[in-house]
Amino acid sequence: MASWRRLAGRALRGLAGLRGERAPRGRCLHTENHDPARLETSSAKSLMDIGTRRIFSSDHDIFRQSVRKFFQEAVVPYHAEWEKAGQVSRELWEKAGQQGLLGVNVSEECGGIGGDLFSAAVVWEEQMYVNCTGPGFSLHSDIVMPYIANYGSQEQIERFIPEMAAGKCIGAIAMTEPGAGSDLQGVRTFGKKNGSDWILNGSKVFITNGWMSDLVIVVAVTNREARSPAHGISLFLVENGMKGFVKGRKLEKIGLKAQDTAELFFEDVRLPASALLGQENKGFYYLMAELPQERLLIADMAIASCEFMFEETRNYVKQRKAFGKTIAHLQTVQHKLAELKTQICVGRAFLDSCLQLHAAKRLDSATASMAKYWASDLQNSVATQCVQLHGGWGYMWEYPIAKSFVDSRVQPIYGGTNEIMKELIARDIVSDK
């Protein structure tokens, strides 16, 4: 275990260019790859090969090797048990922290690892490459932690980020409510000022990491008289164990069975002034600033899942026999594989472009929405076609493609439905601004 961490640390130090120095706070560190000979996935032997794609460097390859080994040895053997339990183990979170796999793209000064965005993407992708959706690492590291790192006080950063990077404090974000999903301005959870404190009331649903969470960022209305709902939303840090904070049941889903998803209830939860994240009534603007990264990681994990499903299906059709030969010899199967690989490689090219844009702080909301909608729709299309190529066995839970199929279905729903993504894209198209 320690040797893996040293390997990951070596790679990340190279990526961050730290050379023994601490990374400046808030700065995203990157490296340029100087090897133009790297293959793109379309030319590689496998869509999951290490050493491909121009956006990565040899340091990323070293890091990817250690991450791949971690998922294969610390996650794959136990995932079936976690699916039955409806959650992964706390031990896994701490192991991931020991490996340096949490808070990868959060600066070292804040208490994170200090790697670049591409290193974070390596973790997203490698989780999909083992087809294990249980660990909620990406939400914890690349959605929750950035809110604290970017908008938190020094006290909040020092208190929570190191513990979250260590896997000892599991993070969640509570946006969705029974009556408010993609429409964040429909939030009803209310934070009322009471002296210097806040009293929080409301409920949330479909919260990833909700059951295991130690810290939840809660989206709440704090000014009902604001000229628009967007001007009256704030973010609060609510800790597990606070009086009035109640976790409901773990929700039983058709997929993502090892990922804990819960209802959360807030009944007169008294919060100190220090629980406010950022400025009062600025929460909606923080959400809008951070949502492109959430949509990007959903999209990248969707394409990585496509790459996994393609390789799984390619291996299957080369072994499965029908009519006296493997079904890979059938022209209709060959043409379907050709279509799938082309679609996936086109999607990968766009996603890698989006990763580069985001690393340079240039990924806008409309482009992130395109990535999320396109990649998650593609993921579902690929899943359906790969199940078909597996025949009846594709419908059996023991086959990885069946799990990929049910896990893919939620991707066009969370992070903002794909219908909302199209609204955001269209708004940008027809706007005169």
Q: Up-side HSE of residue 393: CA atoms within 13 Å toward CB? A: 11
Report the alpha-carbon distance of residue 176 to residue 156 in Å, rounded.
Answer: 24
Which residue among 108, 263, 290, 294 is the active-site one?
Answer: 294
Give, in order, the Cα–Cα distances in Å from 430 to each of 352, 398, 426, 433: 27, 48, 6, 9
Q: 47 is written with which tokens?
A: 């869509």
Give, in order, the Cα–Cα distances in Å from 380 to each of 11, 261, 300, 344, 416: 34, 21, 14, 12, 16
CA 261 centroid distance within chain: 14
Q: Is 324 exposed, middle or buried (0-12, 13-18, 19+ CB in 10 A)?
A: exposed
Q: No. of H helices and E strands in the chain?
A: 13, 10
Is 32 among the residues known to form the active site? no
The torsion defined by the Cα of 359, 360, 364 and 369, in degrees rounded to 10, comes to -20
Q: Up-side HSE of residue 209: CA atoms within 13 Å toward CB? A: 26
Q: Which residues are catalytic?
A: 294
